[in-house]
Every structure is written in C-alpha cells, then in structure tokens.
C-alpha cells in the first residue's frame, strides 16, 4: 500500500515544472499553470532506492512510469520483482506475476485522496495551496531544489518532507526524495524523461 502511495505522490510531483533560473515562489506558480495546461503525458524510467532501519541493506528496484491525461497512471517495476500499479480515474488495479490483485476499502479511499493531488497539480494548484504543502526553493549542487513540507496531518503521518531536484538546463525532475516520518528514506532517480504536449 505504501508503495502505491509513493507512486501517486511521485507522479504528482513529477509534473511540477520550473523555468529559467527563477526560484521565487511567484515564478514557480506561473510556470506550473502554464506547463500544466500543455502537458498531456509523461513517460520515464526510474531507479528507486530505499533505506530503512528494518533492512540490512538498501533495497534497489527499477522500472518504467507512464502518465496520461486525464488521470491515467501506470507504474511498472521491472526489477527485481515485476509489479504493476495502474490508476485510471477512480479505478485502481494491481498486477503481480501476471495476476490481478486488490486493495481493501481503506486503502482504496486513501489512494483516491492522493489521486486528487494529481488532479490539483494538473490544474496548477498544488504549490499554491499552502494548506497542503509549505514549499522552499534553493540552488543545490548547481541545480534547483524544492523542499515540500506537508501541512495535512494524514500526509505528515507518512512523510516529514519531500525533496525534488530539478535539472537546471532542462528544468525536469531528476531526483525525488521521500523522507518518511519513521526515519526511512526513499530516493527515486528518473531518466529518459519525455513530456508530450497538447496543442
């Protein structure tokens, strides 16, 4: 379940754009609105590394993500264990080893709430809603870093902060850190990112 929540949060934040070298909040908000109206799909490869006090060593997995408006998301783990999550509107599906799985009622309700975050980002409101996240932007290692502090209790239970690293030249998200309230850390690094734009 937490793996699927991670997927949804990642997809929300993957579509947050930045332009030029302006890291002011006002500049970011304007870019989000303009970018969100144009993006019709996002596709990329990823490597996910999880560190936890419960794990003897880092857990590394890799795969492919595909997102299309309106509200279709496919997150496919290829290594080490094939696993695919698909969300399409209010419908959520899980496939493991070629067999369909199901989420229980509570899991499904929470997933739907997080799916609404995707919609709010598509509409360009996720960073302007300070009741959801408090945001800080800075330069880090020659690129742009955005730190998002959850303001909602249900999100703070999962993460203390989310950190996005943007490529300064392309302004695409290259790395996404999820700092869990438990102290665990998940880092997703993206590659071969492709955005398609509606006309």
Cβ atoms of residues 117 and 12 within 8 Å: yes
| Residue ranges of the chain whose pLDDT lies below 70 | 1-26, 28-36, 102-128, 169-172, 199
Please report, for the domain that includes residue 167, its CATH number. 2.50.20.10
Strand ranges (E), 89-172: 91-96, 99-101, 133-140, 143-150, 159-166
Q: What is the pLDDT of residue 21?
A: 47
Q: Enter the pTM of the model.
A: 0.78
Record the tokens describing residue 92, joined without a space. 């959520």
Record the tokens describing residue 186, joined without a space. 């998940």
State the total domains in the chain: 1
Interhelix angle 2-14/105-122, nearest 10 degrees? 10
Domain holding 113, by residue range, is 2-197
Identify the DSSP state of 61: E
Q: Give the tens place of pLDDT for each residue, 12-66.
A: 555 555 444 445 556 755 665 566 677 788 899 999 999 998 999 999 999 998 8
């Amino acid at each position: 379940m937490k793996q699927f929540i991670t997927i949804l949060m990642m997809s929300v934040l993957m579509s947050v754009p930045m332009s030029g070298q302006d890291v002011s909040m006002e500049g970011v908000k304007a870019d989000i609105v303009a970018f969100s109206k144009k993006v019709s799909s996002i596709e990329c490869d990823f490597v996910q590394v999880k560190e936890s006090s419960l794990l003897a060593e880092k857990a590394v997995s890799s795969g492919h993500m595909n997102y299309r408006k309106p509200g279709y998301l496919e997150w496919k783990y290829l290594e080490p264990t094939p696993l695919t999550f698909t969300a399409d509107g209010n419908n959520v599906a899980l496939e493991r080893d070629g067999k369909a799985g199901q989420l229980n009622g509570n899991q499904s309700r929470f997933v739907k709430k997080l799916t609404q975050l995707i919609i709010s980002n598509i509409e360009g409101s996720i960073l302007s809603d300070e009741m959801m996240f408090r945001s800080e932007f800075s330069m880090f290692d020659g690129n742009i870093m955005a730190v998002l502090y959850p303001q909602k209790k249900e999100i703070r239970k999962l993460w203390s902060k989310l950190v996005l690293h943007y490529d300064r030249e392309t302004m695409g998200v290259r790395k996404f850190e999820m700092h869990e309230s438990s102290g665990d850390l998940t880092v997703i690094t993206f590659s071969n990112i492709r955005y398609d734009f509606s006309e």
